[in-house]
Chains A and B, each alone.
Chain A
Amino acid sequence: GAGVSQSPSNKVTEKGKDVELRCDPISGHTALYWYRQSLGQGLEFLIYFQGNSAPDKSGLPSDRFSAERTGGSVSTLTIQRTQQEDSAVYLCASSLGETAIYEQYFGPGTRLTVT
């Protein structure tokens, strides 16, 4: 079946502009996760959704970051007033549920470059 998809695959934006990143999880996966990965670094957790609910938003780096999920499916991560330090690969993952957190399926990521 189809895996996790993300769009766009690449995004170049000017400092100060807003961007929206989209994630389509695997059908039937109720849990969805967003991570950020800088070059050569590990994965930095941003936020997760169980259904449409995000119980803990403390991983978001600043109030310029927000995320939502609708219909228990598609999720968007929005970064307002982008800064150069926001440049990274943004990865989305999904799992069957919160109890399956250990087995996450990742999308190909969106490479964000802020100039």
Chain B
Amino acid sequence: GQSLEQPSEVTAVEGAIVQINCTYQTSGFYGLSWYQQHDGGAPTFLSYNALDGLEETGRFSSFLSRSDSYGYLLLQELQMKDSASYFCAVRDPGNTGKLIFGQGTTLQVKP
């Protein structure tokens, strides 16, 4: 089957850099997505990596290593508003319309 592993919680201070890791096991791999969800809100798409390497979008970057079945989301210059849950997701190779989400990492940014 398919599975994703993420840390359940991460804490960091404002202005710092934090890395949220995601390891996956899947029989077929098509890319790794990241979503952000504020408490009580809807998930919002952050990034997608299909190939190895780093993708940068403003303060957020996402990295993928397919050989290690591993990716991470890097958040720089942390702000209080970055406090949220972050989910990684992969496509189910047996169901072209199904995204499998990790259990999420709750990031708490402290002043």
**Residues of A with Cβ closer than 8 Å to B?**
31, 33, 41-43, 45, 48-50, 55-56, 58-59, 91, 93, 98, 101-109
Contact = CB atoms under 8 A, between A and B. Distances in A.
A50 B91 contact: no
A101 B103 contact: no
B45 A105 contact: yes
Nearest to B48: A102
Quick one: which of A41, A42, A50, A55 has the most chain B CB within 10 A? A42
Contacts of B104: 41-42
B99 interface: yes
B96 A45 contact: no
B1 interface: no
Interface of B: 31, 33, 41-45, 48, 87, 89, 91-92, 95-104
Given A45-B92, A98-B96, 20 more contacts: A33-B99, A41-B103, A42-B87, A42-B103, A43-B99, A43-B101, A45-B98, A45-B100, A45-B101, A48-B98, A49-B97, A55-B96, A93-B43, A102-B31, A102-B33, A102-B89, A103-B48, A106-B44, A108-B41, A108-B42
Main secondary structure of the interface of B (DSSP, over half): loop
B91 A101 contact: yes
Quick one: which of B31, B87, B96, B103 has the most chain A CB within 10 A? B96
Quick one: which of A33, A56, A101, A107 has the most chain B CB within 10 A? A101
A78 B62 CA distance: 37
5 contacts: A48-B98, A56-B97, A91-B42, A103-B33, A105-B45
Quick one: which of A41, A91, A102 has the most chain B CB within 10 A? A102
Contacts of B98: 45, 48, 56, 59
Given A91-B42, A103-B33, A107-B42, A98 B97 contact: yes
A103 B91 CA distance: 11
